[in-house]
Homo-oligomer: A and B are copies of this chain.
């Protein structure tokens, strides 16, 4: 068991944020300054340097089961159409007609489309984005069908989710997304045991959080707050009451309390265990942060999967899926006790993040706050974001 380090974090360059102006105690590290959370300008740079450069998790693959099923997703400033072509391969199109720029799809989702037709002048694109029809198109033979196809984003499917990257040259998916899982769990096999791609969505809750996305990440990474705001969670995971997060040590999963029967709001029995989960993993909770927009929570009988969509420096939409075995969901068994636990945790966390957001413009928070020892690993994430937007 070794202290977690992140191989992907560039060398920190805190100089992009205003240097600290006060002495702090040796036990403490400094957080990012208030501006990092309170400034629309810094958020714009994060959108450009982080959210438009990295792999992001956009949609659950099963929401797009058939060719021509689609969802529109807002990623940073961009609206994307996430869909499947005739071979059921995922595709991600910028939702912008190549002619005069109208929004091609206004619906949130739809199914079984054979093509995408712009509602303004009827330019029409096939399920691979190629321009296939337009009024008088035959009189413009030099207008290439591929050249004037919908702009596309890079796309991958993993863990049953469709991941996209808006950059022209995406970073390695294996090194970044899968690398984050590997760094946290020690290997990729550990997550394979949960068969996340075969699970089905038993519940989805969308939270509208009035806080910067980094406050939500930082909150997820530490457990110093658990004793204060998560009574139900610390009942199930007693070691969380000591303030050390599951994410602090590579490969470590928090152990259920002795009396606890399952990962439920009252510690009672959960549902059928996922077959691949090993004895090592049984009765344990693992949390993984996949920068910049995903949290994965693994317990023996389900997986809780968070996707964050930052929309402003002080507002983040969080979509949370509770994933169970297909037979569990089909059986109609009551999932409420399983769902309730992390729904409570989410609400407790997001309320705390909002309390932090409200002070980010204060003169007294200009240099930020402090991290106690059990939070020191957050500094790694903070240095990474600071470096990313400096790059």
Q: Footprint of B on A, CB under 8 Å?
A: 25-28, 31, 34, 52, 77-79, 94-103, 106, 119-122, 134-136, 139-144, 147-148, 151, 166, 224-225, 227-229, 243, 352, 355-356, 358-365, 368-374
Contact present for B147 and A25 (CB under 8 Å): yes
What's the Cα separation between A97 and B52 when bound, in Å?
A: 34
- Copies of this protein, total: 3
Complex CA–CA separation, A355 to B107 (angstroms): 12
Q: Is the CB of B140 within 8 A of A369?
A: no
**When A and B form their complex, which 3 residue pairs have the shortest distance between CB atoms, in order from nearest?**
A27-B140, A102-B355, A101-B369
In Å, the complex CA distance between A242 and B136 comes to 9
Tell me how far the C-beta of A32 lies from the nearest C-beta in chain B, rounded to whole angstroms.
Answer: 10
> Taking CB as reference atom, which chain B residue is nearest A120?
B352
Across the interface, name the chain B residue whose C-beta is closest to A142: B25
- Decide yes or no: A25 and B95 within 8 Å by CB, A102-B355, A356-B100, A363-B77 being known contacts: no
Nearest B-chain residue to A119, judged by Cβ: B355
Whether A143 and B28, one on each chain, are in contact in the complex, defined by CB atoms closer than 8 angstroms, is yes
Q: Closest chain B residue to A103 by CB distance?
A: B355
- Interchain CB contact under 8 A, B362 and A121: no
Q: Evaluate contact between B228 and A372: CB separation under 8 angstroms.
A: no
Which of chain B's residues have a CB closer than 8 A to the CB of A77?
Answer: 361-363
Q: How many angstroms from the CA of A365 to the CA of B94 in the assembled complex?
A: 10
The answer to whether A79 and B359 touch across the interface, beta carbons within 8 angstroms, is yes
Q: Are B228 and A52 in contact (CB under 8 A)?
A: no
